[in-house]
Amino acid sequence: MKGRALLGQKRGPMLEFLPEPEATELAKVIVAFANGIGGTVVVGMDEQGRIYADSAEVLEPVMERALLMVAPPFRTDDLPEWSVAEMPTGQVATVAVKPTSYRVAVEGLGAFVRSGTLNVPLEPGQPSRAGQRVVSFEDDVVPGATLDDLDDQVIADYERKHQESGPRGEVLGRDELLREAGAVDSAGQPTTAGILLFGKHPHRFFPQVGVVIVRYKGTSVREAVAASETYTRRVEVLGPLARQVERAWEILHEEIQLQSSIEGLERRETLLYPASAVREAVVNAIAHRDYAITGQRIEVRLFDDRMEIMSPGGLPGHITIDNIRDEHYSRNPRLVRGLYYWRYIEELGQGVDIIYAAMRADHHPEPVFQDTRRNLILTLYNAVSSLTLRYGDMLNPRQEAAIHWIETHERINNREYRELCPDVTPETLRLDLRDMVEKGILLQVGSKRGTYYILKAVRPTPADRRR
C-alpha cells in the first residue's frame, strides 16, 4: 500500500498504524500478520493521517531489532519488506508482511495472530487444536505440477480483480502477481495455493477439492432412505476456488427459490434462505476448509427444513464455537486473500457476522455451528422450517425464530424477543407471544417484568391448528 492510498484507511485485519517506532510493538504486529493473512504496518503516521516527525528515518534500526526478536527467524522469501511512502505532509514507512507457512513468535512474549484490530496471543506450546496444523500446506510445491497446469484465463480474471480491489495505483505483472499470491515459489514452481486458486483441474492433484451438493427429500437422510429415494439431486462442483464459488451459488440459488413473481417491471424472488447468508457460508467453507484432509470434499446437504454445510477440518487455531463471532483466524491465509481480491469475501474476518445478521434480518433462527474436530458443520434453518412442518401455518417467521430460541435457551422474555426482531414494534411482538399462548404453543410464566415464556409440554391438536 503506497502513499496517498494510506489516507482514510482504518486499522483492521491487514492494516496497523504505529505512530512511534518501537521494536517490541513492531515485532508483535509483524508476527501477528505473518501468522494470519499478512498485512501492512504503517510507521510514522496515525490512523487520522497525522505525520510524526522523523519517525520514518529511524525505522531501519528498529526494524532490525524487531526482526531479531522473531523466532524462528523468517525464511528469506518471507522477510517483511519495508519502504518509504511519500505523503502530502511528509514521509512515512510501510512494512509489508507476508503470511508464513510456519508459526513465528516474539522471543519472551510468545506467538500472536491478527484478529480484527487486535494481536491475539496464541497459547504457548500448543501448535494447534487436536493435532491440527497451525496453517495449511498451501505454500508447499505440488509434485508434478508445472506452469502449464495454471489457467491463463483465470489468472487474467484475477489480475483485473486485483487491480480493482488492491491498493490504488498498484499494477503487478503476471509473474509478480503469482508470487504475491503465493501461487508459485521462488523458483517459479506452482504451490498448493497456486493450483487451488488458478489450476485448470485442481482435483487431479487434490481429489479432496470440490463441493458436493445433495438435495434430500424430507428432514433427514434416514427419512429419505425410508421413502426409497436417497436423494433427488446430486451435483459435484470442481475447478479453481473462484469457479467453485460461482457454480455452487448458481446451483444453490436454483434450490432455494421458493417462488418468483413480477411486480411492475421488476422480477421479485422469494428465497428459502437469505441469499447473503448462503453465499457467505459457501465462501467460508471453500476458503477455510482444511485442504490437508484427504478423502472428503465440502458437502452441502439440503433438507426440507434446513441446509447443512460440512467443511472438512474443525475450527483452526484459537477459534472456538464460543468466540467464533469475536475472533478471527485463517487456516489458509493465501486462499483467503485470493478470494478477497476476487471480491467473494467482502470484508476480511466478517463472514460469520454477515451470516448471523442476514438470518436475523429475515427472522430466521440463528445459524448453528458444530465442531466435530473432523468437520465444521453450519446449519441454516429455512423459511419452511421444521416448526412449519410441525405447526402448519400457525406461526409467522418471527414466531418460529422465538420457538427456536426457546428450544436452545429453554425460555424467552419480551426483551430477548425484541433483540431477536429489532425492526419490529414491541406491540407487534407482544401480540405474537399472546397469539402463541392462545394457540397452546407457549405457556406464560410470571407477570409484569418477570414474565417469560416456555414451550407447553403438550403439542397443539388438529383442532388448535384450525383456530
> What CATH number is given to the structural domain containing 428?
1.10.10.10
Q: Cβ distance 381 to 365 under 8 Å?
A: yes
Q: Is residue 297 domain-resident?
A: yes
State whether 393 and 377 are in the same domain: no
The last residue of one of the domains, among 83, 105, 123, is 123
Tell me, yes or no, whether 183 lies in a domain.
no
Residue 82 confidence (pLDDT) above 90: no
- Which residue in this structure is represented by grid cell 422474555? 413
309 shares its domain with 424 = no
Q: End of a domain among 333, 355, 381?
A: 381
**Range 382-395 average pLDDT:** 65
Within this chain, do residues 90 and 238 fall inside the same structural domain, yes or no? no
**228 & 374 share domain:** yes
Return phi, psi of residue 123, to 5°. Answer: -60, 125
| Least trusted range by pLDDT, from 171-175, 310-314, 331-335, 416-420 | 171-175
Q: Torsion-angle region of residue 237: left (phi > 0), alpha (psi -120 to 50) or beta?
A: beta
How many residues would you count in the chain? 467
Which parts of 100-151 fold into alpha helices (H)?
A: none
Q: Are residues 443 and 323 in the same domain?
A: no
pTM comes to: 0.64
Boundary of a domain, candidates 123, 150, 174:
123
Which domain CATH number covers 14?
3.30.950.30
Range of the domain at 49: 3-123
Task: Tell me how many domains the chain contains.
Answer: 3
| Residue 145 placed within a domain | no
Clarify whether residues 357 and 435 are in a common domain.
Answer: no
pLDDT digits (tens, 9 = 90+) for 135-191: 457 888 999 999 999 999 999 999 988 887 666 556 778 888 898 888 998 889 999
Per-residue pLDDT band at 460 (split at 50, 70, 90):
very low
**Can you tell me the distance from the alpha carbon of 390 to that of 382, in angstroms, rounded to the nearest whole number?**
14
| 218 shares a domain with 362 | yes
Residue 332 and residue 251 in one domain: yes
In a domain, 43, yes or no: yes
Q: Which helix (H) or strand (E) holds 119?
A: strand 118-121
**Mean pLDDT across the chain, nearest whole number?**
82
